[in-house]
Amino acid sequence: MFGSNRARKTAAVLTATAAAAATALLGAPSAAAAPQPIVGGTTTTTTAYPFVMQITDASQNQFCGGTLVSATKVITAAHCMVGETTGSVRVVGGRTYLNGTNGTVSKVSKIWINPDYTDATNGDDVAVLTLSTSMPYTTASYVSSSDTSVYAAGTTARILGWGTTSENGSSSNQLRTATVPIVADSGCQSSYGSEFVQTDMVCAGYTSGGVDTCQGDSGGPLLIGGVLAGITSWGNGCAEAGYPGVYSRLTTFSSLVTAQVNS
């Protein structure tokens, strides 16, 4: 199930130190995980979330997610695009199932990777793809640079993707979604120490774990109030207690992204 291409897209995953583990539980919100059957969550469709794109190799094997923000522009994670070329990737819209053949497949005419990107754990994990073919789907709006209040701790955010449904598990054939609370920056700092770059990242998840993005969800959306506010980036494993998922803090990159969307 996991091709080498897919494996290469795995975000850096930290090894928990004893110190980090000891302080981790102080970090995330105290709400219990909602009883939802991504990890946790429920199946959904691209009809319900038409702006959620599969990012695939040339054989249409999905390895990351993305979000359609104009007919020909898709926001994804920089780490998804490392080693890729315009010829090696496709964007697939309107396809709920990984094994489907429906929807719209587009080639990519340009890959813009944030020039400051080095590694997901250093931040700057954002890329914009320009499509060769327009997608006939409703786009998502995304935060502007002044919308920083959307990340208030405890705010409910929605995550979406075809990633694995457990750490080291298998991908979901059907698009999945879940909701997770935004974690205070202080809490995320407690979990991840200096790997958490407050300007560039925002964390979401329950103290007790159980609901999270996982391998293959990278690049996909974190929505707050239906607006794209984060990009699935990295974490220590998936859905582990005390280790929320880490998302690119899109307000920080909004102006850079807009320059690409309008280019």
Window of 27-35, 41-49, 181-189, 234-242 that interacts with ligand 4AZ by CB under 6 A:
234-242
Among 106, 177, 213, 260, binds ligand 4AZ (CB under 6 A): 213
Active site residue 116: no
CA angle 141, 146, 149 (to 5 degrees): 90
**Between 14 and 131, whose beta carbon lies closer to ligand 4AZ?**
14
CB of 198 closer than 8 Å to CB of 190 = no
Please report whether residue 56 would count as binding ligand 4AZ according to CB under 6 A.
Answer: no
**Between 210 and 216, whose beta carbon lies closer to ligand 4AZ?**
216
CB of 236 to ligand 4AZ, least distance (A): 7
Active site residue 79: yes
Among 155, 218, 248, 251, binds ligand 4AZ (CB under 6 A): 218
Q: Number of residues in contact with ligand 4AZ, rule: CB under 6 A? A: 14
Please report whether residue 156 would count as binding ligand 4AZ according to CB under 6 A.
Answer: no
> Closest residue (Cβ) to ligand 4AZ?
235
Please report whether residue 238 would count as binding ligand 4AZ according to CB under 6 A.
Answer: yes
Active site residue 233: no
**Between 11 and 175, whose beta carbon lies closer to ligand 4AZ?**
11
Name the catalytic one among 106, 124, 125, 200. Answer: 125
Burial (CB < 10 A; 0-12, 13-18, 19+), residue 166, is middle
CB of 100 closer than 8 Å to CB of 33 = no
Please report whether residue 217 would count as binding ligand 4AZ according to CB under 6 A.
Answer: yes
CA angle 216, 217, 218 (to 5 degrees): 90
Dihedral angle over CA of 64, 67, 73, 79, nearest 10: -40
**Between 10 and 36, whose beta carbon lies closer to ligand 4AZ?**
10
The DSSP result for 200-250, as a single string, is TEEEE--TT---B--TT-TT-EEEETTEEEEEEEE-SSSS-TT--EEEEEH
Q: Which residues pair with 177 in a beta bridge?
A: 42, 160
Please measure the distance between the N-terminal and C-terminal CA atoms of the chain and give it in whole angstroms.
Answer: 37
**Between 182 and 238, whose beta carbon lies closer to ligand 4AZ?**
238
Of 176, 141, 180, which Cα lies nearest the Cα of 162?
A: 176
Among 46, 62, 232, 260, binds ligand 4AZ (CB under 6 A): 232
For residues 25 and 82, what is the distance between their CA atoms, to the nearest angstrom?
33
The residues assigned a catalytic role are 79, 125, 218
Binding site for ligand 4AZ (CB under 6 A): 10-11, 212-218, 232, 234-235, 238, 245
